[in-house]
Structures are given as C-alpha cells and as structure tokens.
C-alpha cells in the first residue's frame, strides 16, 4: 500500500472509531438507567438465603441456610452468586441465630470471601441449640468486619437503601417518609402471645431502590409484627413481601400483611416446613396482591393452600435447588422468574 493510501486508510479507521465512541458515549446514560437490582431466593429447603446484588454490583446475602448436608446450602448460594456475577459477599446479614438461618455460615465462609458480617447483636434465646449455633457463628466472625444494626440503622450500599426496621426485639419508633397512617386492621387483630425465642429478635430490613420497595422481616413473630404497624403503620406499602418465617402461622398477622399492601409475595418455605394454611391465606387474600410465588410446593398444606405450579420453584421433596429471581428497576417495575421452568412475569 502506498504512503498516501495508508494515510487515507488510517483516516477512515480513525473516523469510524470516533463514530463508534460517540455512539457508545451517547448510549451510556441509557444503559446506566437500565441497570437492575438483582434478588435471588435460593432454595435452602425451608431455611433462608436471599442474595441481593445492587445495580452498582455490591452484594448482600441475607442468611445462609442449614449446616451439614455435604455443604448443600453453601454450594447453592455459591452457584447463585456465580449466576449473578458475584465473586465475594460484601455483606452477610444474619437475621437471627436459628440453625436454618445461621447454620451454614462456616461452610459458606470456606467457599466465599465475606467482607462484613451484620447482625442484631448477641443471642437472646435461652436454649442449648441456639447457644451452640451462636457460638459456631462467633468463631467465624473474626474472619471479617462486624457490624451490629439497630432499628433505623442502614448499610452503606451504593444505589440502594437498606434500613433496619426491627432488631433485638425493638422496632423503629418514627414512621418512614410517607408512612404513619392509622392501621384500620389492628382493631380486629387477636392479641398474640409473647415469644421468648430469637424469632422475635429478628433483624428485619426494608430495601429501597428508587420506587421499588422490598421488606424482609426474617422470622419475626406476631407480637413484634403488630408493634411495628399498630396502631399506625410505620412502614407504608411495599412492592415485594418476603413472607415472614417461611409462612408459619405464628407470623404474617393480617394487620401487617394487609397494611403493607404488597403487589407480589415470595415464600421461602420447604416441602414440609412453613406454608401454614392461616398465614398462606392471609397473604393470598391481601388486597392488591397480584401474585404469590413459593420456593416449594407445601406438601402438608394440600392443594387448596398452594399456588399454581408455574409460581412454584420446586414441586416435591426431591428438590433440585431451583431458585426464584427478581430483577427490579428504579421506576418500581420488576420481573420475577422461576428457574425451574423459566416462567417469567413482568410487573409494571
């Protein structure tokens, strides 16, 4: 090629690259706007493990499932993290010290780097098994930073807001912005019993991404649920309700579920754990609920207290560990996907 021809070719190439760069720069704001919040409800057979990945790529895991089972639950968490493009956990939040929530910590810490452990403070339950599980958790705490959250505290995550609503038996006392209205469902709610277990101490959070709001109260039981929303609803409404306590009847009081007015509910139950008929019905009948998704078919509840199969990730007790995935946008829209069938539904 002549010198003149080479110069002409270089000029054309440079012009083409400039054009591509201009197009790329002009579309970057559009791409940024479309970055999604990812939420994976990992099947840990009736425990909890919820992986949250912010639009900026920061990660938060809520609970770790069970210990044992040849590392089954930690393997499933790691697999979900791989799908989400997560190589380490920036935060691991433990709602409370029951085995189906904190039991998998040691196995997971051997498989993934954890940046900061987050919890409600010391164990408050007088039982041998919970003291044992808390002691096992304490042995792992030294591997990373440790943060204790109280009601109203938050996590420094870019692009999303994580705020503690309940912790160590206490709750926020002031309503969140836009909340605080009288809760008309409280008057007819039966008085619940005291609960001396760690369930009542659950570290419950509200996640906000723009207009999208998700609530996860761990295994909080009815007396503490009602304290949060009665006589006034301090939380407001939510788009996504993580069904409390795997759908056990000791939780999910009508006064909180109906006041939260969720558009979609997801229940992390097991084939023979959770999905109690009363709790299931309270969620199912909640005004404005568009859909109810379950991690498992609740075998003991019967057909009348299970949703249609397309909304269930695992259909029997021979689970393959199918998960439910949520992709949310800052405008409040989101998509829910069942990994077993790839059945997907959009919520505007």
Given the structure tokens 């609803």, which residue do they identify? 233
Q: Is the pLDDT of residue 96 over 70?
A: yes
pLDDT at 54: 98
Measured CA to CA in angstroms, residue 51 lies from 110, 204, 222, 289 at distances of: 17, 15, 25, 23
Distances in Å between the Cα of 152 and the Cα atoms of 26, 159, 226, 243, 262 are 39, 18, 17, 21, 21
Give the model's pLDDT for residue 317.
86
What is the predicted pLDDT for the residue at 12?
52
What would the CATH number be for the domain defined by 35-347?
Answer: 3.60.15.10
Q: Which of 34-43, 106-115, 125-134 has the lowest mean pLDDT?
A: 34-43
DSSP letters spanning 270-297: BTTBS--HHHHHHHHT-TT--EEEEEE-
Q: What per-residue confidence (pLDDT) applies to 34?
A: 57
φ, ψ for residue 60 (rounded to 5)? -140, 125
Q: What is the mean pLDDT of residues 45-49?
A: 97
Q: How far apart are CA 42 and CA 50, in angstroms?
A: 6
Lowest mean pLDDT among 6-20, 51-65, 109-123, 194-208: 6-20
Q: Which residues contact 53 (CB under 8 A, 6 or more apart)?
A: 37, 38, 39, 40, 59, 60, 84, 85, 86
Q: How confident is the model at residue 15 (pLDDT cuts 50, 70, 90)?
A: low
- Check whether 179 has a pLDDT greater than 50: yes
Torsion on CA atoms 79, 85, 89, 93, rounded to nearest 10 = -70
Average pLDDT over residues 146-162: 97
Average pLDDT over residues 11-22: 44
Rounded CA-CA distance 109/240 in Å is 29
- DSSP state, 232? B
Please compute the mean of the pLDDT values over residues 150-173 and round it to a whole number. Answer: 97
DSSP state of 133: H
* pLDDT score of 185: 98
What pLDDT score was predicted for residue 26?
43
Contact (Cβ atoms closer than 8 angstroms) between residue 220 and residue 244: yes
In the chain, where are the structural domains located? 35-347
């Amino acid at each position: 090629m002549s010198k003149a021809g080479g110069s002409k070719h270089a000029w054309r190439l440079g012009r083409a690259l400039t054009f591509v760069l201009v197009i790329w720069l002009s579309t970057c704001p559009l791409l940024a706007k479309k970055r999604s919040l990812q939420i994976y409800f990992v099947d840990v057979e009736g425990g909890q493990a919820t992986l949250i990945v912010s639009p900026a790529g920061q990660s938060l895991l809520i609970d770790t499932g069970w210990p044992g089972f040849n590392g089954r639950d930690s393997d499933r968490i790691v697999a979900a993290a791989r799908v989400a493009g997560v190589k380490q956990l920036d935060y691991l939040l433990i709602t409370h010290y029951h085995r189906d929530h904190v039991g998998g910590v040691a196995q997971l810490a051997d498989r993934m780097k954890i940046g900061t452990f987050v919890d409600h403070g010391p164990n408050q339950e007088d039982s041998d098994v919970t003291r044992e599980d808390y002691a096992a958790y304490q042995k792992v705490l030294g591997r990373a930073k440790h943060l204790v959250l109280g009601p109203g505290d938050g996590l420094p995550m870019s692009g999303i807001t994580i705020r503690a609503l309940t912790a160590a038996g206490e709750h926020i006392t002031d309503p969140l912005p836009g909340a605080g209205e009288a809760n008309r469902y409280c008057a007819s709610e039966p008085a619940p019993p005291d609960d001396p277990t760690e369930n009542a101490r659950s570290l419950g959070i509200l996640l906000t991404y723009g207009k999208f709001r998700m609530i996860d109260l761990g295994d909080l039981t009815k007396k503490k649920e009602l304290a949060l929303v009665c006589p006034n609803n301090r939380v407001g409404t939510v788009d996504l309700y993580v069904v409390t306590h795997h759908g056990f009847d000791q939780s999910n009081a009508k006064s909180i579920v109906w006041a939260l007015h969720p558009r979609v509910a997801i229940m992390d139950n097991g084939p023979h754990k959770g999905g109690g008929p009363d709790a299931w019905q309270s969620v199912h009948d909640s005004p404005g609920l568009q859909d109810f998704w379950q991690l498992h078919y609740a075998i003991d509840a019967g057909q009348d207290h299970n949703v249609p199969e397309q909304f269930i990730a695992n259909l029997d007790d021979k689970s393959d560990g199918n998960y439910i995935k949520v992709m949310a946008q800052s405008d409040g829209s989101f998509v829910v996907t069942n990994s077993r069938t790839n059945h997907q539904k959009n919520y505007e």
